[in-house]
Amino acid sequence: MTDKKENTGDGNTGYRNTGNWNTGVRNTGSWNTGDWNTGNWNTGVRNTGSWNTGDWNTGDLNTTKPTVRLFNKDSGLEFNGEVHIKIRNTVSSYQKMLGEWVYEKNMTDQEKTDNPTYKTTGGYLKVNKSVYNGKKVTKEHICFLESLPNFCPKILKECTGIDLEEKTCNNKIVEIDGKKYKLMELK
């Protein structure tokens, strides 16, 4: 696409690029080819840093595709692979948006006092203190989350508000036809 809508810099192709000589979408930096790159001289997708060839790299001078970090350690899982997508879907089902629009008709008297601009805007942006929606975590999701590489309930709670410190699965490893499987049963 040759449209330069919302580009800052010179020689950009794509959308929302900042820098020079970018090809792709939402790039920040210079000489990037690909999408969602931050840094310089990146070829690939979703790179942060400089001189990366490949996808999902953070740092400089990388040619390989890294694995997903889970609980502050490499997991060995592929970005956008089946398990990675399931992690994102599972966690997001227990999250609420950090901010939500509250229309004037739904505002309390206190909210109107605290947010006088509602008269002009028709409401206000409510910032949620926690992203956890309080929904009870299913047994299936508890077992799935606990089965993840490097699982740490403290980090899970810190990042999402989901508290699994008291809930545990009875994980048993069985071998069938030379392959190991993890059986999970909630205690």
- CA angle 153/185/154 to nearest 5° reads 5
Burial (CB < 10 A; 0-12, 13-18, 19+), residue 100, is exposed
Pick 12 or 21 by higher pLDDT. Answer: 12
Other Cβ atoms closer than 10 A to 30: 20
pLDDT tens, residue by residue, 71-117: 989 999 988 889 989 998 999 899 887 778 899 999 999 999 999 99
User: Whole-model pTM?
Assistant: 0.57
Residue range 142-168: mean pLDDT, rounded: 88
What integer pLDDT is reported at residue 4 of this predicted model? Answer: 56
C-beta separation of 75 from 65 below 8 A: no
Can you give the three-state secondary structure of 111-133, one letter per residue?
HHHHCCCHHHHCEEEEECCCCEC
* Chain mean pLDDT for the chain: 79
- CA angle 115/117/120 to nearest 5° reads 145
C-beta separation of 122 from 150 below 8 A: no
Give the residue from 58, 37, 25, 41 showing the smallest Cα distance to 68: 58
Query: Is the per-residue pLDDT at 1 higher than 50?
Result: no
Query: Is the per-residue pLDDT at 34 higher than 60?
Result: yes
- Who's near 97: CB < 8 A, 6+ residues apart? 128, 131
Which helix (H) or strand (E) segment holds residue 182: the answer is strand 179-186
Query: Is the per-residue pLDDT at 176 higher than 50?
Result: yes
Give the residue from 66, 63, 69, 87 showing the smallest Cα distance to 162: 87
CA–CA gap between residue 45 and residue 33 (Å, rounded):
8
What integer pLDDT is reported at residue 2 of this predicted model? Answer: 46
Amino acid at 116: P
Query: Is the per-residue pLDDT at 124 higher than 70?
Result: yes
Pick 56 or 146 by higher pLDDT. Answer: 146
Indicate the pLDDT class of residue 50, thresholds 50, 70 and 90.
low
Indicate the pLDDT class of residue 19, thresholds 50, 70 and 90.
confident
